[in-house]
Amino acid sequence: MLQLSAVLAVLLIWAALAAAGLVSATALPGPTAVFGQFPQLFGDPVYWQAVGDTLDGAVTGFVAAAVIGVPLGLVTGTYAAAEQSSRLLVDVLRSFPVIALLPVFLLVLGSTPTMKTTVVLLACVFPVFLQAQYGARSVTPMIAETMDSYRVPRLLRFRKVILPSATPSVMTGLRLAATTSVLVAIGVEVLTTLPGIGHEVVQAQQGGAASRAYAYIITAGAIGYSINLLSTIAERRLLRWRPPTHTD
Amino acid sequence: MSTRSPGALWQSLLKQLWLPVLCVAVLLLATAGSTSFYFPPATDVLATLWRELLHGGLVGDLLFSLRNIALGLALATVVGVGAGLVIGEIDLLRQATAPLLDFARATPTVAFVPVIILTLGIGSGPKVFLIALGSLWPILLNTISGVHGINPAVHETARGYRIPWRLRLLKVVLPGALPQIFAGIRVALSIAVVLMVVSEIYGSPVGLGNFILQSGSSFAVPETWAGTVLIGILGYGLSVLLLAAEYMLLGWYHQRPPRARRSMSRTMSRSEAKT
């Protein structure tokens, strides 16, 4: 109830702002104009094609990042020497704004879906990698020493100790990366001619259809929001065996 | 830390440095005689970077970009921390705005780039606005959860003694939330750098993003790489700077014994991960 009224209040303020004409209608069309676009868009194959294109690039890049990042993170997290020697390198690379590589990639790979996937992959791999590493490192020294003294075989140790204790952290990394993947995919589409939601926003705005542009932006928000929601639910399901780390 | 001998220090330095050094060496060697159009020798790239910085307009681009990031981030910090303190303190408000804020954070700010730049123009103002808009959410959400995460006992005590609200805010709430606020600003910084690049690639006569776009589309490959490297250095340099500032401001927090810190740092890493 409370949350619903907050949403309503924001919509009302938005409508009032648009009606008062403080900002021009091309910068911020009213909520009725924006939401009025949706029935038309839902019947439009272009809309679904754009959503599909964005998700396609995002999901492919995300999966590739998970396949590369999780094992690499677990291994470097298990062995202190590997973690130490890669620390500085990872630190520098991780703070690199991947989208700045776009012009270079445009040169080398051209404006292709592969390029979009590669940029998404590069942006997603670090959160996954770092969280996996962090998770593998979270095995308490006492347990690690116990395993050492009992000479627990490496594979068994990995499967039964490191993997379970790293899972929560890995899940967090995956959730982070999932949100990032959509964001980066849209960013690439805005800047290039590749099809997708980002491209449609540019097209709509350049065609003077600001309310359609906003409808696409809200679609992007809805996708991000549902990904976050779904991954939170999935995380809770998968990690039911362990006590919740947070309650709120 | 202080009990470490200089030998141990060297050893840890060596352990951390060998791989980066090796990578740079391999990169230099592999591209040394490169005749490939897209991958010029790394030395060429560095030489181009140096030349552009000294004689070209790259310094102007760099300053333009830096100023936008600083202004946008400052704006987002002021608004985010201010609003976050209010929302975090008032429980009713916090619950009411939760889904809205989650949605706002999930909406990619990059999608706003064409809308804002096409309507407001290609100057510095719209870019600062975009950077502030994107950086606002992690700071705001982290402030809220930092304020909310303060031990209820502390809160009750402060209330019980009727400590005036301004004093409470300055001495209890803000310091308690500060570690998490900083985690939020760290996340916001990386968003700010990305938005800087995107907004400048999309439409700008100056700036680093414009520099790499221009050189890229005119097939000036060494220049493109040089600009890209500079943006990387900028991103890393700013995050190191922020860490140093955090260390100075939060010395009291980092110097605590790990055990007393644990419950706090756990919530911090979680919220950092959330964003």
Per-residue pLDDT tens digits for A77-100: 888 888 888 888 888 888 888 888
Which ipTM did the prediction report?
Answer: 0.81
Distance CA A198, CA A33 (A): 20
pLDDT band (50, 70, 90) for residue A193: confident
For residue B17, give the nearest of A88, A197, A218 by CB distance: A88
DSSP for residue B41: -
Cβ-defined contact of A27 to B115 (cutoff 8 Å): yes
> Bigger pLDDT: A17 or B230?
B230
The pLDDT value given to residue A80 = 80
Q: What is the pLDDT of residue B257?
A: 54
Q: What is the DSSP letter of B4?
A: -
Question: Running DSSP on this structure, what letter comes out for residue B256?
Answer: S
Residue B256: the pLDDT is: 63
Task: Note which residues in 91-110 of chain A have CB less than 8 A from chain B.
Answer: 91-92, 95-104, 106-108
- How big is the CA angle at A124 (ends A192 and A154), to the nearest 5 degrees? 150
Contact residues, chain B, for A3 at CB < 8 Å: 95-96, 98-100
Looking at residue B185, what is its pLDDT?
93
- The pLDDT-based confidence of A68 (bands split at 50, 70, 90) is very high
Are the beta carbons of A246 and B267 separated by less than 8 Å?
yes
How many whole angstroms separate alpha carbon A52 and alpha carbon B48? 41
Least confident interval from A127-136, A201-210, B35-44: B35-44
Do residue A88 and residue B20 have CB atoms under 8 angstroms apart? yes
pTM of the model: 0.82
Question: For position B141, what pLDDT does the model report?
Answer: 92
pLDDT of residue B80: 94
Looking at CA atoms only, how far is residue B275 from chain A in angstroms? 7
CA distance B209 to B200: 5
Q: Is the dihedral of CA B21, B22, B27, B33 positive or negative?
A: positive
Nearest CB among A103, A175, A179 relative to B224 is that of A103
Can you tell me the mean pLDDT for A162-183? Answer: 87
Chain A contact for B66, CB < 8 A?
A: no
Q: Which of A12-26, A187-201, B112-126 has the lowest mean pLDDT?
A: A12-26
pLDDT tens string A226-237:
988 888 888 888
pLDDT in the model for residue B254: 66
A chain contacts of residue B227, beta-carbon cutoff 8 Å: 100, 103
| CB-CB neighbors (< 8 A) of A27 in chain B | 115-116, 119-120
Stretch A114-122: mean pLDDT, rounded? 91
Q: What is the pLDDT along chain B (275 residues), one digit of tens a residue?
A: 445 567 778 887 887 788 888 888 888 887 777 777 777 887 888 888 888 887 777 888 888 999 999 999 999 999 999 999 999 888 888 888 888 888 888 888 888 888 888 878 787 888 999 999 999 999 999 999 898 888 888 878 887 888 888 888 888 888 888 889 998 998 899 889 988 988 888 877 888 888 888 888 888 888 888 888 888 889 889 989 998 888 888 877 766 655 455 444 444 444 444 33
| CB pair distance less than 8 Å for A100 and B231 | yes
Residue A137 has pLDDT above 70, yes or no: yes
Least confident of A60-64, A244-248, B178-182: A244-248
- Give the pLDDT confidence score for residue B272 in this predicted structure: 43
